[in-house]
Structure 1
Amino acid sequence: MDASHARYPFLDAAREAVGAAGVDLLSLVQEDHPAVDRGRERVERALVAGTVETDRRVTPRVEVLSYPVARVLVSLLEVPGAVEKYAAAEAATAYERLSEEFSGTRPGGATLALPDLLGEFGLDDEVREAADGYRVRVGTYLRLAPGGEGWALVRRDLASGTVGVTRAELHELLRRAVEERVAAGLPLDVPDPIASALDSTARDVERALSSRNYPRSFDADPTSEAFPPCIEHLLAAARDDDDLPAHSTFALVSFLARVGMSDEEIRALTGRDGEAFGYALERLASEGGTYAPPSCATMQALGDCVNPDDLCATISHPLEYYAEEL
């Protein structure tokens, strides 16, 4: 199991590496292998922060093995929308990593080429390079395209059964393909011995989610006057048309949705159209604020905690700040 498998544990090569290693999931759990704790963290961060990135050093073997553990854990949770949120978080993390790969900005060089990924998802005959970007067969485009006005066929370059997309748009389609791959088969039918062994860990995840002390809803109309500094910073960046990372987009849109804004209100406030924020609006805002924004600790770890004030020192979540300022 190598670094590439750890970065993309949903790919066939990673699954085959696990199979070749002869790893027994029940033995991992019974031995309290580090992959179990990382799998728990993977699920918690997915459901709270919209990412499966970790702040600690983890070996490739532990990282790869944490993926099947996480799939079992999320199947055992009694949390509404857990599977969908988990798959979206895995896809969001993969999207950032793949963008580095394909743009040539990954430290140490690329480990995965675009043609290989297209082949992995059976898209090598569905996508072809063109002079101005890529052409995608219309059926595949409709299956993978996010919602939003900018993705509607009536606004696209449609010719000979294919749709024209930019490189960035192709990456968005691949994000959706990853989400499909991760969600496939979930929730799992977990064998009783494994379910029993992981039951306490699954309940720990549920308690961690339910014990978070930020408000679940707000009665008052949403107001930007109560926004914490981190959200004000991300909002300003969005209005300046900055290329926000996926985790920053998640933090901003999930916060705005949780305080009661509709997708139309978020578009108006950020100045972004449906195409720019389409994926986030579809997956976050349209769910009525179901997705929890990241905690302050996660915002700090990802570099989104900017200009903290005195109140920030007393709270642990941006929604706590908002509730205090209302």
Structure 2
Amino acid sequence: MQRLHARYPFLDASREAVETADVDLATVVQEGGPAVERGVERVERALVEGTVAPESRWSVRAELLSYPVARVLVSLLDVRGAVEKYATAEATLAYERFTDDFDADTRLKSTSDDALTLPSLLADFDVGGDVTAVGDGRFEVGVTTYLELAAPLDGRRWRLATRALADGTVIVSRRELYGLLREAVRERVADGLPLSVPDSIADALAPEVETLQHALAPVESTGDVDEFEPAAFPPCIDRLVEEAREDEISVTGRYAVLTFLAATGASYAEIAAVVGDDEERHRYQYERLAGENGSQFSPPSCATMEANGDCEPDACGDFSHPLAYYEHQLRAGE
């Protein structure tokens, strides 16, 4: 098992590393330990904070094995939109990691053995022969491959009619290619979920599932206000909106502000106007967080926001959730 496998557990090579090590998942979950603990953290953070990034350092083995454990936990949870939320969080972390790896390689900076290369990721999705660099940060993508990768993506920019075509290929920018690969990761993670879990594994993970259900109960009970009124935003959201406008927002801050804005039912045009996103940098994540069919992410609570450094202490009174403050301000303004 290599650190590269732990950083990108969805790769074919990562799955093969687990198989080569002859690891039995049933034994892993029955024995418990770091892999199960990290699996629980992976799912809880995915469904509460929109990320699966570790909060502390784990061994390569625990990090890699936590991925199949997390997939089992997601399958056992009776939580609306759990699969979509989990897959989106895994894809978001993968995107952050591989863009850093690819950009370092592009800038000819030294990269470590655990860095992923663009050719290797393309090959992992069997599209290496259909993507060719043509200079100036642009790529030609075979039209069939492009349609497959872009099919789940919303927005006019991804429609074939809006793209430049040449000899059966579609021209995309480097960032657009990265976005297509992020979607490919999300679909691979979601593929096959929820799993059919054997009783022996389900029974062994019953305490962890109960722990997750308790942790997620406050998030699941948060309703949408379905009204967009920036003047009623809580102080923490006002600050995060300003940070987004200045492009100085943290990962947790971006998640918090986008999930909050999604809960108001605002269109992306309204969101872009508020956060100053003329280039629509946040559209993909917003659309995934807004979700469909019950898969919408709920904004983090005040306690989570405070732990992440995104809260405005003592500015909101006794409210426990930004939406509760927002609803209060909306009613006060009626």
Normalising by structure 2, we get a TM-score of 0.86
Contact persistence 1:231–1:252 (CA under 8 A)? yes
What are the residue-to-residue correspondences of 1:176-187 with 2, within 5 Å?
A: 176-187=183-194
Instruction: Report the RMSD for the aligned CA atoms in angstroms.
Output: 2.8
Residue matched to 1:294: 300
Tell whether 2:280 aligns with 1:278: no
User: Which residue identity lines up with residue 26 of structure 2 in the other structure?
Assistant: L
Residue matched to 1:151: 158
Residue matched to 1:111: 115
Note closer, same or farther for the CA distance 1:2–1:302 as it changes in structure 2 (3 Å cut): farther
Contact persistence 2:84–2:295 (CA under 8 A)? no
Contact persistence 1:214–1:319 (CA under 8 A)? no
| SS, match of residue 205 in structure 2 | helix
Q: What is the CA-CA distance between 1:299 and the residue it aligns to?
A: 4.5
Distance 1:191 1:213 in 2: 27
Note closer, same or farther for the CA distance 1:262–1:107 as it changes in structure 2 (3 Å cut): farther
Residue matched to 1:54: 54
Among 110, 121, 125, the alignment partner of 2:125 is 121
Residue matched to 2:218: 211
Distance 2:265 2:203 in 1: 39
Contact persistence 1:238–1:244 (CA under 8 A)? yes
Mean CA deviation greater in 115-124 or 200-209: 200-209
Contact persistence 1:95–1:171 (CA under 8 A)? yes
Note closer, same or farther for the CA distance 1:134–1:13 as it changes in structure 2 (3 Å cut): same
Contact persistence 1:150–1:275 (CA under 8 A)? no
Residue matched to 1:190: 197
Q: What is the CA-CA distance between 1:224 and the residue it aligns to?
A: 1.5
Q: What is the CA-CA distance between 1:252 and the residue it aligns to?
A: 2.4
> Which blocks of at least 5 consecutive residues in structure 1 are unaligned?
none
| SS, match of residue 211 in structure 1 | helix
Q: What is the CA-CA distance between 1:273 and the residue it aligns to?
A: 5.1
Render the CA deviation track for 1:234-266: whole Å, top value 9, x for unaligned.
3234434x3866654433222101123233432
Note closer, same or farther for the CA distance 1:107–1:31 as it changes in structure 2 (3 Å cut): farther
Residue matched to 1:223: 229
Note closer, same or farther for the CA distance 1:155–1:124 as it changes in structure 2 (3 Å cut): same
Q: What is the CA-CA distance between 1:49 and the residue it aligns to?
A: 1.1
Residue matched to 2:102: 102
Contact persistence 1:215–1:323 (CA under 8 A)? no
> Which blocks of at least 5 consecutive residues in structure 2 are unaligned?
none
Distance 1:26 1:314 in 2: 45
Render the CA deviation track for 1:291-326: whole Å, top value 9, x for unaligned.
1223456556666x26x2413685554334434544
Residue matched to 1:72: 72
User: Which residue identity lines up with residue 310 of structure 1 in the other structure?
Assistant: D
Note closer, same or farther for the CA distance 1:311–1:233 as it changes in structure 2 (3 Å cut): closer
Distance 2:205 2:173 in 1: 44
Render the CA deviation track for 1:101-134: whole Å, top value 9, x for unaligned.
0111899646111101100111101211012311
Distance 1:270 1:159 in 2: 36
| SS, match of residue 129 in structure 1 | strand
Residue matched to 1:2: 2
Q: What is the CA-CA distance between 1:217 and the residue it aligns to?
A: 2.1
Aligned pairs, how many?
Answer: 322
Distance 1:214 1:235 in 2: 25
Mean CA deviation greater in 269-278 or 120-129: 269-278
User: Which residue identity lines up with residue 153 of structure 1 in the other structure?
Assistant: L
Among 168, 171, 174, the alignment partner of 2:175 is 168
Contact persistence 1:77–1:206 (CA under 8 A)? yes
Contact persistence 2:131–2:140 (CA under 8 A)? yes
User: Identity of paired residues, percent?
Assistant: 52
Distance 2:257 2:147 in 1: 27
Normalising by structure 1, we get a TM-score of 0.88
User: Which residue identity lines up with residue 270 of structure 2 in the other structure?
Assistant: E
Residue matched to 1:250: 255
Distance 1:245 1:135 in 2: 33
Contact persistence 1:254–1:289 (CA under 8 A)? no
Deviating 4+ runs (over 6 angstroms)? 105-108
Q: What is the CA-CA distance between 1:213 and the residue it aligns to?
A: 8.7
